[in-house]
């Protein structure tokens, strides 16, 4: 980002989100996004590959953050059993929830755009599925058994999805971290009584 384009990326992101909300995702062009942001198309393409990437550019960084957290998790330092695996995944999502996400109003706006467009919904779901698969892979590298790794990744990612959905729908503006902690705690109550 040049000195003459302060906050270009966030201006482009907000301009895109406003236009997607006003006109619909399919009806918005990159030229319009750039114009709304007071920037050039060339600047847009320095920050995003296409108009869809404005919505999903963060997911690679999210995945990298989660994988790093699990790769370095002290919870997995000894016998890497299933409970430690789920705890490590939960802790990674808590770190991400605390540090990574934009303000709730932006996330809500993004969610409305995605909810209105089935191909974007499929992409969002596929993105979370890839994150789950990547988490299972790093758990296996840390010595967790194949089945436990896959289940811990699925359960933890599923709990995060539920928490995220509740966060963007929550009129009380609770924190994402609060929702993640609540979901993980509730997940823990689902199992023992029927074990």
- Interface positions with its own copies (CB under 8 A): 81-87, 121-123, 125-126, 129, 132, 147-148, 150-152, 154-155, 157-159, 161-162, 165-166, 182-183, 186-195
Q: What is the CA radius of gyration of the chain?
A: 19
Minimum separation from the CB atom of position 13 to its own copies (A): 24
Q: Which is nearer to its own copies, 48 or 164 (CB)?
A: 164
Minimum separation from the CB atom of position 148 to its own copies (A): 6
d(C-alpha 10, C-alpha 123), whole Å: 22
Q: Which is nearer to its own copies, 57 or 151 (CB)?
A: 151
Give yes or no for a contact between 108 and 167, defined as CB atoms under 8 angstroms apart: no
Q: Which is nearer to its own copies, 43 or 132 (CB)?
A: 132
Encoded tokens for 176: 């994402």
Minimum separation from the CB atom of position 180 to its own copies (A): 12
Q: Which is nearer to its own copies, 12 or 180 (CB)?
A: 180
Q: Where are the beta strands (DSSP E) in 26-184?
A: none
Q: Which is nearer to its own copies, 37 or 75 (CB)?
A: 75
Give yes or no for a contact between 96 and 159, defined as CB atoms under 8 angstroms apart: no
Residues 137, 138, 144, 148, CA torsion sign = negative
Q: What is the DSSP-derived secondary structure letter of residue 5?
A: S
Could you give the dihedral angle defined by the CA atoms of residues 59, 64, 66 and 69, in that order, rounded to the nearest 10 degrees?
Answer: -160
162: left (phi over 0), alpha (psi -120 to 50) or beta: alpha
Minimum separation from the CB atom of position 135 to its own copies (A): 12
Minimum separation from the CB atom of position 66 to its own copies (A): 16
Minimum separation from the CB atom of position 113 to its own copies (A): 17
Q: Which is nearer to its own copies, 68 or 188 (CB)?
A: 188
Query: What SS3 state is found at 174?
Result: coil
């Amino acid at each position: 980002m040049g000195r003459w384009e302060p906050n270009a990326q966030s201006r482009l992101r907000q301009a895109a989100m406003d236009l997607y909300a006003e006109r619909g995702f399919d009806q918005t062009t990159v030229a319009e996004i750039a114009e709304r942001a007071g920037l050039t198309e060339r600047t847009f393409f320095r920050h995003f590959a296409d108009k869809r990437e404005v919505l999903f550019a963060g997911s690679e960084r999210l995945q990298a953050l989660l994988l790093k957290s699990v790769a370095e998790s002290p919870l997995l330092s000894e016998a890497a059993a299933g409970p430690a695996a789920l705890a490590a995944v939960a802790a990674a999502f808590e770190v991400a929830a605390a540090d990574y996400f934009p303000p709730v109003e932006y996330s809500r706006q993004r969610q409305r755009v995605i909810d209105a467009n089935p191909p974007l919904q499929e992409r969002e779901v596929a993105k979370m599925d890839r994150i789950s698969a990547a988490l299972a892979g790093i758990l296996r590298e840390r010595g967790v058994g194949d089945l436990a790794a896959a289940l811990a990744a699925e359960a933890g990612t599923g709990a995060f999805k539920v928490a995220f959905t509740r966060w963007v729908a929550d009129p009380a503006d609770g924190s994402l971290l609060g929702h993640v902690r609540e979901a993980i705690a509730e997940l823990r109550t689902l199992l023992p009584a029927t074990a």
